[in-house]
Amino acid sequence: MNEETTNGNTPNHIHKQETEDVLARLNRQLPFSDEAEKGVLSCVMADPESRLGELRLILPAEAFYHAPNRTIYTALQEMSAKGVPVDVVSASNWLRDQGLLERVGGASVLSELYTFVPITAHLSYYVKVMRSKWGIRQLLDKCGRIMMRAYDHGKENPDQDVAELFAFAQEEIFKLSSTVITGDGGEEHSDVIDRMLAKIENQIAENTVIPRERIPVGFTEIDRMVWGFVRGQLVILAGRPGMGKSALAKDIVENVSLGKAHYVEWNREKWQHRIKKRVMLVNLEMTNDQCVTRELVGGAGLDLQAMRYGQVNHKALEMLGRRAQEIYPQTVRMYDRPGMSIQNLRAIARMRKKLFGLDMVVVDYLQLMHSESTRAKGNRQQEIAEISGGLKEMAKELDVVVIALAQLNRNVEDSKSAVPSLSHLRESGSIEQDADVVMLIYRACYYDEEAAKDEATLIFAKGRDIGIGDVPLRFKGSQTRFESTTVNLFSNDESKRQH
C-alpha cells in the first residue's frame, strides 16, 4: 500500500506538514476526532459486508487523520474488494502479510476496535463528524498553500501577473468543493432532459422465444443473433473513432430502459420484454448533457448540426417536446464524472442494485477508466486487465449485462478494406479474454466513397453460445441514430425488410 497522494506525486503527509507549520505559527492544530475514526472502524468490523461498500462512496481513506486508522481502513477496503472475509483474525493476518500490523499497534488494536462501539446504527453520525473534520483540514490545507504562494508571488519574476495568483486560489478552492460532495455523484435522467429542453427553448426563444431472464436490445438483427443478452455477460462494443459506438449504445439504452424490444409479428400486450429495465449509463467521453441532446434531437428526427447552430423553429420545439415525453420514462441513472475507477463503479452499481434494482450497465468507454490498485500504477496493460476483469466480475456478481465500449488500435486501418477483427483488440490487455461477446462496428463509407452512407455492419467476432457473423444496421448520420433493417425477428426474407 503506497502513501496516498493529493496532487501529482506529492504525498499527503507533506501537505499535512506544511499546513501544520502554518497552524503552529497561529498556535493552532489540525482538527480531528479520534473517537469518530475508531467508531467508524468499529462499525465496519461489526458489519463489513454492508458497511464497506457504502463507505467507499462517501469516506475516502484520506479522511482519517491518524495514520494507523487510515492504514486499517485501507486494508479492510482492499480485503473486501478481493472477496476476503473481514474479521479480526483475517484483518490481522492481512496486515501482518503486508508488514503493517505492528505499525497500527498490533492485533490487540483490532480486537479493541471490534468492541469499541456497541451500537453500529450510530455509523452515520461518526461519518458526519469525520467528514466535517476532514473538510476543515482540507480547507486549511488549501488556505495554507494559497498563503505560501501569495508570500512567494513575484520573488522569482517581479513582472508576474497577480491574476495568476487569483486563478491559483480559485482553482484550489474549486477542487476542494468537488471532494466534499456526498452521494454517488449521479443525476436523474429526467433532470437532464429538463435541463436540455430549457436550453433549447431559450435558444429559439412473456411468452416468447427470448427467455424472460435475458435482455433483448430492440434491434431485430442483433436480437436474432443473440436472442437477448445473458445476464452476467460482459459485452464489448468496439470500433474506431467516428464509427458510431456511442450512438448505438445510446439507442440500446433507450430501447432497454423503455421496454422497446418488441416486434410487430407478436402480440405486444403479452410480450414480456416490454417491461422497462433499469440501466446505469457511465459517460466518460461525453457529458450527460451531450448524450441527452443526441437523444432529444436525433430521436425527434431533427438534424443535430442544424440544432447546434440554432437553425430551428417553433415547430422543431414541438417535435422536441413530443420526443421528451417519449423518453422521459426511461429508468436510467447517468454518470459523467471523468476518469471513474473500476472500484468506484462497482461500489455504485452494488448500491443501485440493492436499493433500486439493476439490469444493465453501459460504459462509454473502457479505456477512459482507471484502477485504484497499487499493482496497476505505471503499468497500463495491467490496469486495462484489471478494468476488464472487474467489469466481468461485476456482471456476474450483480447478475446484470455489462456493455463496455472500447477503442480499436490503428492497425485496423492498415488493411485495404479496414474491416476490424479480434486481433485489433489484443493490444488492450485481456479485454478479448474477459469478454463473453465482442461486437465490432464498421461503416464502409469511411474508407470507400462509393459505399452507401447509411449502411453499417455489426461484426460478431466472439460470442459464447451464439453464432459468429455480420448483421446489417442502418445509420442516420444527421440524427446520430441506428435503425434495424427489418422488423421481422424470425425471417431473413428480403421481401419483408424495410427500405
Q: Each residue of 229-260: pLDDT tens digit?
A: 989 999 999 888 888 888 899 889 988 888 87
**How sure is the predictor about 319, in pLDDT bands with cuts at 50, 70 and 90?**
confident
Centre a 10 Å sphere on the Cβ of residue 246 and count the other Cβ atoms it contains: 21
**How sure is the predictor about 498, in pLDDT bands with cuts at 50, 70 and 90?**
very low
Predicted confidence at residue 360, as pLDDT, reads 94
* Residues above pLDDT 70, as percent of the chain: 78
Q: What is the pLDDT of residues 478-492, one digit of tens each?
A: 777 788 887 665 544
What fold, for 188-496? Rossmann fold (3.40.50)
What is the C-alpha to C-alpha distance for residues 478 and 300, in angstroms, rounded to an integer?
Answer: 12
Centre a 10 Å sphere on the Cβ of residue 131 and count the other Cβ atoms it contains: 17
Q: Which of 3-12, 70-79, 138-147, 392-401 has the lowest mean pLDDT?
A: 3-12
Distances (CA, A) of 151 to 14, 131, 146, 147, 239: 19, 30, 9, 6, 52
Predicted confidence at residue 499, as pLDDT, reads 35
Mean pLDDT of 351-358: 87
Q: Examine the pLDDT at 271 and tell me if it is beyond 70.
A: no
**How sure is the predictor about 267, in pLDDT bands with cuts at 50, 70 and 90?**
very low
- Grid cell locating 176: 476542494
Predicted confidence at residue 4, as pLDDT, reads 45
Predicted confidence at residue 25, as pLDDT, reads 62
Predicted confidence at residue 234, as pLDDT, reads 94
Mean pLDDT of 126-150: 87
More confident residue, 244 or 26: 244
Q: Examine the pLDDT at 8 and tell me if it is beyond 50.
A: no
More confident residue, 120 or 70: 70
Q: Examine the pLDDT at 266 and tell me if it is beyond 50.
A: no
More confident residue, 381 or 64: 64
Domain boundaries, the chain: 5-179, 188-496
Beta bridge partners of 282: 335, 363
Whether the Cβ atoms of residue 19 and residue 313 lie closer than 8 Å to each other: no
Predicted confidence at residue 5, as pLDDT, reads 46
Residue closest to 240 by CA, chosen among 433, 426, 417, 441: 441
Q: Examine the pLDDT at 280 and tell me if it is beyond 90.
A: yes
Whether the Cβ atoms of residue 257 and residue 331 lie closer than 8 Å to each other: yes
According to the per-residue pLDDT averaged within each range, which of 186-200, 246-260, 401-415 is highest? Answer: 246-260
Residue closest to 333 by CA, chosen among 291, 289, 278: 278
Predicted confidence at residue 171, as pLDDT, reads 67
Predicted confidence at residue 206, as pLDDT, reads 47
Q: What is the pLDDT of residues 360-377, one digit of tens each?
A: 999 988 888 888 776 767
The answer to whether 5-179 and 188-496 have equal CATH topology is no
- Radius of gyration from C-alpha coordinates of the chain: 26
**How sure is the predictor about 202, in pLDDT bands with cuts at 50, 70 and 90?**
low
> Residues 302, 306, 311, 317: is their CA dihedral positive or negative?
positive
The pTM of the full predicted model, rounded to 2 decimals, is: 0.62
Predicted confidence at residue 14, as pLDDT, reads 52
Predicted confidence at residue 337, as pLDDT, reads 82
Q: What φ, ψ does residue 457 adopt, rounded to 5°?
A: -125, 130
Mean pLDDT of 396-401: 91
Whether the Cβ atoms of residue 456 and residue 473 lie closer than 8 Å to each other: yes
Mean pLDDT of 424-438: 78
Q: Examine the pLDDT at 84 and tell me if it is beyond 70.
A: yes
Predicted confidence at residue 492, as pLDDT, reads 44
Whether the Cβ atoms of residue 19 and residue 141 lie closer than 8 Å to each other: yes
> Is domain 5-179 given the CATH code 1.10.860.10 in the classification?
yes
Average pLDDT score, the chain: 78
Distances (CA, A) of 46 to 40, 49, 67, 111: 10, 9, 21, 11
Predicted confidence at residue 311, as pLDDT, reads 59
